Amino acid sequence: MYILQYYATWIVLLPALVLAMYAQLKVQSTFSRYLRHPAYIGKSGAQVARELLDRNNLSDVRVERTGRTLGDHYDPRVRVLRLSPEVYEGRSIAALGVAAHETGHALQHAANYLPLGLRNSIFPVASFGSQLALPLFFVGLLFQGAGLGWLTDLGILLFMTAILFQLVTLPVEFNASRRAMALLSQGGYITRAEAGKTKEILSAAALTYVAAVAVSIGQLLRLLLIRGQRRD
């Protein structure tokens, strides 16, 4: 009977998993489509990122090439903006959109944007929590009779720190995308027609973060159901 109850808990997670798969397919297809659309300005993502940084008095932030596809990110610890090969060397609308988005993170860091600072401070705890949460949860379930049931609750608390990190990430990412659109439009890097396509790329990427939060919340509800069923 408990086995049937255990598998029934997957029902609360399934919609979020479907959303996550859709979001991943959406961002990959959108990025690939606009990767084949050259931007009218004819500059690479690396060139645009460098110019945007310099225009905003961030000449000390380096722009580097990373070998990982869709591995674009800004590292606040060493003040480096890393771009994937398709973005670093690419002269497409997709390349410019992603490069400007990561530049937006560098601007957030320079401006001491509160959600970014909060996310960075939460990261060590969230990273630790995401790795130990599920092992502790299931160890607590297995050895509940031996007085280790409290590990189940600890696992849930640690899992909640990971969700908090994801929730704080949402405004950080949305704000970086708004900054990217403003940087590209006001700087004359994209035309009015290209602006809509750039926004589509950034919106598709944002959906993946929303989906990640949905999956985590679904997983949390599932863990709570399992804990309740086991204690009953």
Q: Which residue in the list 102, 173, 194, 200 is annotated as catalytic?
A: 102
Positive/negative CA dihedral, 142, 147, 148, 150: positive
Per-residue model confidence (pLDDT) at position 1: 46
Q: What values do phi and psi take at 29, rounded to 5?
A: -70, -40
> Which residues, 6 or more positions from 25, have their beta carbon under 8 angstroms from its beta carbon?
none
| pLDDT tens-digit series, residues 143-154 | 887 878 889 999
| pLDDT tens-digit series, residues 210-226 | 999 999 999 999 888 88
| pLDDT tens-digit series, residues 22-42 | 999 999 999 999 999 999 999
Per-domain residue ranges for the chain?
2-231
d(C-alpha 2, C-alpha 78), whole Å: 50
| pLDDT tens-digit series, residues 109-141 | 999 999 999 998 999 989 888 889 989 998 988
Average pLDDT on 154-179 reads 95
Describe the crossing of helices 114-142 and 150-186 by its angle, rounded to 10 degrees.
Answer: 150
102 is catalytic: yes
- pTM, to two decimals: 0.88
- Residue 50, amino acid: R
Does pLDDT of 106 surpass 80? yes
d(C-alpha 71, C-alpha 57), whole Å: 25
Per-residue model confidence (pLDDT) at position 213: 95
